[in-house]
Amino acid sequence: MYDVAIIGSGLAGLQCAYLLSKEGMKVCVVEKNDRIGGMIQSFVRDGVAFNTGLNYTESLGEGEVLNRYFKLFDLMGNITPKQLDLEQSDIITLGDKSYPIPQGHEQYAETLKSYFPKEADAIGTYMNGLKETCNSFPLYKLKGPNTDFSMDTSLLSMAASQYINKISQNNDLRGLLAGTNILYAGQSDETPLYMHALICYSFIKSSWRIKEGGSGIANVLANGIKKNGGIVMRNAEVKHVRVKDGLVSHLELLNGERVEAKSFISSLHPKAFIPLVDEGGFKKVFRSRILSLKDSIGMFSVYIVLKKNSLKYQNYNHHYFRTNAVWAVDNHHWPQNYLMYTQYNHKTTEFADGLTIIAYMKYSEVAKWKDTYTEERGEDYEVFKQEKAEKLIALAENSIPGLKHKIANYYTSTPLTYRDYTGSANGSAYGVIKDYQNPTHSIIDAQTRLKNLFFTGQNLNVHGILGVSIGSVLTCSHFLGMEYLYNKLIAD
Ligand SMILES: Cc1cc2nc3c(=O)[nH]c(=O)nc-3n(C[C@H](O)[C@H](O)[C@H](O)COP(=O)(O)OP(=O)(O)OC[C@H]3O[C@@H](n4cnc5c(N)ncnc54)[C@H](O)[C@@H]3O)c2cc1C
């Protein structure tokens, strides 16, 4: 019998398994797919490696917040982060105006002030607001001894868009401050300020690509788990979570195997997990609350294999919007915006071999194929994807003129791809929506009413590489103690 069985080998499942196995626990990770990594897995097409859910990440500099978490998971030293250009890590385009955005909080504020001299006070207020919001999360601040890890719940009900609109009347500045909102699927009527703050403040601090890609991170963690005596089972889909006397007794896999453990952690989207659990496991009211949660929007991605030496590697990203109304997601004039970047990997030299373009896509766009499975959705789905890809590539010419002549081949993915590969409900990119208007409804605790069952992953608190890493520590604190883990995080 294992000490802990962990469902899902995405970033969260692997991080929890690594941390617990490092502390001597006997762990087993159970993954439905042949490949580990969940949303961060990379794939190769025509010899070019592409990332899926890890385009770039944040605050990996020495002493910075993700660096501390990655040290705890022994990732630093085993992956090769490449910092994006200091003076221009992102180019945010709002209609016909483009703004190069630097890294570093001071440089960011100074640059924005140079773009909007009359808004200097507003920009100062904004930066202070982000700092204060972030620092009210002890697991983000990571400063000094601490025994109180609770957060100020009043923060949960503040809206990001309202905060930005209050600070300045200038619509271009408002658009620019929210111009990386694809990183958190920002919606004006939902996204809380804390979500915007934690993500933007960390990316402004410093931004990085990982040479080994998302799969590189997953492999380091999986190898570490094995070295610590743990097991990572692939092609092992959990079909049932059996409950006896108020505890989870074991997992039943699709292939008929049983996995027995003292405790269990699920990193699945809760809507995908709840139906697996025996009827009496959770109260009806909890089940229906979880099943009624709203999900963040999905993404449509175009993975472009570039013609040899046709495009120099760009050590920065493009965030493009047709206008400065950056919060809108409009199906009728799709696409409104995109994130685009050149892939960085082991083979990258002066030139890039791959380019990725990502845009929001509502589930309703692909719902008519909901009863099909990947690669078997039919000719009309292929036509749909091609039409969407051509539209997105045409819009992307705004950032890279002549792009279509640089393309050797391209591949696409839709929200259905994510649904089928990772089990994310409706192919949602970032899981359950955190809604400032109804904050407690969307909060999911790591501890469930079944005493030996815990949740982790992007649906817990905040999605993304940093959000998931913090969530993994929160979940593991139920086994190892929060103070113990916190002291490791703050140790120099
Ligand atoms: C298009 C896109 C781009 C993104 N870009 C970035 C970015 O640039 N930077 C950033 O920080 N974040 C980014 N993210 C977010 C980030 O990738 C995710 O927040 C994070 O990877 C989620 O990890 P997780 O472990 O919580 O979930 P997942 O990775 O979804 O892991 C869940 C795992 O459970 C497995 N599973 C599901 N059902 C079962 C079952 N029944 N039995 C066994 N196993 C099962 C799945 O196969 C999967 O491996 C992006 C996400 C998307 C979709």
* pLDDT tens per residue, range 240-250: 999 999 999 99
Instruction: Assess whether pLDDT exceeds 90 at residue 439.
Output: no
Compute, in angstroms, the gap from residue 420 CA to the centroid of ligand 1.
Answer: 12
Compute, in angstroms, the gap from residue 439 CA to the centroid of ligand 1.
Answer: 23
Atom of ligand 1 nearest to the CA of 253: 42
Compute, in angstroms, the gap from residue 450 CA to the centroid of ligand 1.
Answer: 24
Question: Which residue shows structure tokens 């092992």?
Answer: 236
Confidence of residue 152 (pLDDT cuts 50, 70, 90): confident
Atom of ligand 1 nearest to the CA of 471: 26
Residue nearest to atom 52 of ligand 1 (CA): 53
Query: In angstroms, rounded to a whole number, what is the distance separating the alpha carbons of residues 470 and 220?
Result: 18
For residue 127, the model assigns a pLDDT of 97
For residue 238, the model assigns a pLDDT of 98
Who's near 63: CB < 8 A, 6+ residues apart? none
Residue nearest to atom 36 of ligand 1 (CA): 8
Amino acid type, 124: G
Compute, in angstroms, the gap from residue 39 CA to the centroid of ligand 1.
Answer: 3
Q: Are 90 and 207 in contact (CB under 8 A)?
A: yes
For residue 345, the model assigns a pLDDT of 87
Confidence of residue 156 (pLDDT cuts 50, 70, 90): confident
Alpha helices per DSSP H over 58-119 = 65-72, 105-115
Query: In angstroms, rounded to a whole number, what is the distance separating the alpha carbons of residues 483 and 491?
Result: 12
Residue nearest to atom 48 of ligand 1 (CA): 38
Instruction: Assess whether pLDDT exceeds 80 at residue 313.
Output: yes
Q: Considering the chain, what is the average pLDDT of its residues?
A: 95
What is the pLDDT averaged over residues 186-196? Answer: 93
For residue 12, the model assigns a pLDDT of 98
Compute, in angstroms, the gap from residue 30 CA to the centroid of ligand 1.
Answer: 15
387, exposed or middle or buried, with CB in 10 Å at 0-12, 13-18, 19+? exposed
> Residues lining ligand 1, CB < 6 A?
7-13, 30-33, 38-40, 53-57, 237-238, 267-268, 272, 299, 301, 358, 418, 422-424, 429-430, 457-458, 463-465, 468
376, exposed or middle or buried, with CB in 10 Å at 0-12, 13-18, 19+? exposed
Q: What share of the chain is helix, strand, coil (3-state, %, to 5)?
A: 40, 25, 40
Confidence of residue 380 (pLDDT cuts 50, 70, 90): very high
Atom of ligand 1 nearest to the CA of 424: 30
For residue 440, the model assigns a pLDDT of 82
Q: Which residue has the higher pLDDT, 452 or 375?
A: 452
Pocket residue to mutate for ligand 1, from 39, 70, 273, 417, most atoms within 8 A of Cβ: 39
Confidence of residue 148 (pLDDT cuts 50, 70, 90): confident
For residue 331, the model assigns a pLDDT of 64
Instruction: Assess whether pLDDT exceeds 70 at residue 31.
Output: yes
Confidence of residue 442 (pLDDT cuts 50, 70, 90): confident
β-bridge partners, 62: none
Q: How far are the Cα atoms of 126, 169, 246, 431 from residue 368, in angstroms, in the given order?
A: 43, 42, 40, 21
Query: In angstroms, rounded to a whole number, what is the distance separating the alpha carbons of residues 262 and 450?
Result: 12
Atom of ligand 1 nearest to the CA of 9: 49
Atom of ligand 1 nearest to the CA of 38: 49
Atom of ligand 1 nearest to the CA of 459: 26
One DSSP character per residue, 454-487 reads EE-STTTS--HHHHHHHHHHHHHHHHH-HHHHHH
Please identify, in words, the CATH class of the domain defined by 2-80+212-294+431-490: alpha beta
For residue 154, the model assigns a pLDDT of 80
Residue nearest to atom 50 of ligand 1 (CA): 53
Atom of ligand 1 nearest to the CA of 37: 49
Residue nearest to atom 27 of ligand 1 (CA): 10
For residue 330, the model assigns a pLDDT of 67
Q: Are 216 and 210 in contact (CB under 8 A)?
A: yes
For residue 248, the model assigns a pLDDT of 97
Residue nearest to atom 10 of ligand 1 (CA): 464
The number of beta carbons lying within 10 Å of the beta carbon of residue 34 is 7
For 44, how many CA atoms within 13 A lie in the half-sphere containing its CB?
A: 9
Residue nearest to atom 33 of ligand 1 (CA): 8
pLDDT digits (tens, 9 = 90+) for 206-253: 999 999 999 999 999 999 999 999 999 999 999 999 999 999 999 999
* Helix axes of 65-72 and 482-490: crossing angle, nearest 10 degrees: 120
- Percent of the chain predicted with pLDDT > 90: 90
For residue 78, the model assigns a pLDDT of 97
Query: In angstroms, rounded to a whole number, what is the distance separating the alpha carbons of residues 129 and 305?
Result: 41
Q: Are 273 and 454 in contact (CB under 8 A)?
A: no
Amino acid type, 201: Y
Instruction: Assess whether pLDDT exceeds 80 at residue 269.
Output: yes
**Which residue pairs, CB below 8 angstroms and at least 24 apart, start in 95-101?**
95/321, 95/322, 95/323, 95/324, 97/172, 99/176, 99/179, 100/316, 101/176, 101/179, 101/204
Q: Which residue has the higher pLDDT, 439 or 395?
A: 395
Compute, in angstroms, the gap from residue 204 CA to the centroid of ligand 1.
Answer: 23
Instruction: Assess whether pLDDT exceeds 80 at residue 333.
Output: yes
What is the pLDDT averaged over residues 169-198? Answer: 95
Atom of ligand 1 nearest to the CA of 430: 19
Compute, in angstroms, the gap from residue 10 CA to the centroid of ligand 1.
Answer: 5
For residue 332, the model assigns a pLDDT of 72
**Residue 277 three-state SS:** strand
What is the pLDDT averaged over residues 145-155? Answer: 79
Residue nearest to atom 7 of ligand 1 (CA): 54
What is the pLDDT averaged over residues 88-98? Answer: 97
Question: Which residue shows structure tokens 């929160």?
Answer: 474
pLDDT digits (tens, 9 = 90+) for 454-488: 999 999 989 999 999 999 999 999 999 999 999 99
- Closest C-alpha among 97, 126, 92, 93 to residue 109: 126
Q: Would you say how long the chain is, in residues? A: 492
**Residue 321 three-state SS:** strand
Compute, in angstroms, the gap from residue 418 CA to the centroid of ligand 1.
Answer: 9
